[in-house]
Amino acid sequence: MKLSELKEELRFKANPEKAKLLQGFFKTGKGEYGEGDIFLGVVVPESRKIAKKYADLALADVEKLLHSKIHEERLTALLILVDKFHAGKEQKKIYNFYLQNTKYINNWDLVDLSAHKIVGAYLTDKSKSILIKLARSRNLWERRIAVIATFSFIKDNRFKESLKIAKILLNDEHDLIQKAVGWMLREVGKRDLKTEESFLREYCKKMPRTMLRYAIEKFPERKRKRFLYS
């Protein structure tokens, strides 16, 4: 499988009209979080198909793809890494590679489709201290990686790590972090409502409203209001 062929397939699936919409949706304007990101307009299901086709692409070529200025090329690189990881191929190497390249995992969809499937999955039976370091990073995307990585633990009904990261990021000013923390708290609540409500009772007055609204999104209206206006 050749990198050039993969790129050609992505360009064949390009949609200029969709690309224009995506560049607005992912905030690519000057001063916005995705400033300068370039889109082809390829939908995620198509990127997944291409990633699976090129799952055996050499890691050196995956790195070149990940360093691309084009969003869908970086996304496809990450999807290939996820497939490689879950095939049991060089998991430690892929985990280390991922953390060495966080500079290029630089939009929320890139993080959300990969962090828990690589970082979280790798750390299942290992020290979680790297997540604390990432949560305290100045880099927005490293902080989001720290939060989303814990989704892997939540799926195993392990909530301690998510709550610990939530506490660290409780006063984060970026709405992408507030939304991510709120989302993970909501996922905790889907599995253990008492645990989520206990956390919210202690911290709901301290957390940003965006974070709280995401966390209580599925609550009955009466309960939502109780947390919002307590």
How far is C-alpha 1 from the geometric centre of its chain's CA atoms?
A: 27
Q: Is the pLDDT of residue 122 over 80?
A: yes
Q: Is the pLDDT of residue 106 over 70?
A: yes
Tell me: the pLDDT tens digits for 24-39?
989 999 999 999 999 9
Q: Is the pLDDT of residue 139 over 80?
A: yes
Q: Is the pLDDT of residue 1 over 70?
A: no
Confidence of residue 179 (pLDDT cuts 50, 70, 90): very high
Q: What is the pTM of this model?
A: 0.95
Handedness of CA 189, 48, 66, 43 (dihedral sign): negative
> Residue for token digits 């799952």?
55
Handedness of CA 200, 203, 208, 209 (dihedral sign): positive
Domains of the chain: 1-103 (1.25.10.90), 114-230 (1.25.10.90)
Q: Backbone phi, then psi, for 70, in 5-degree steps?
A: -90, 125
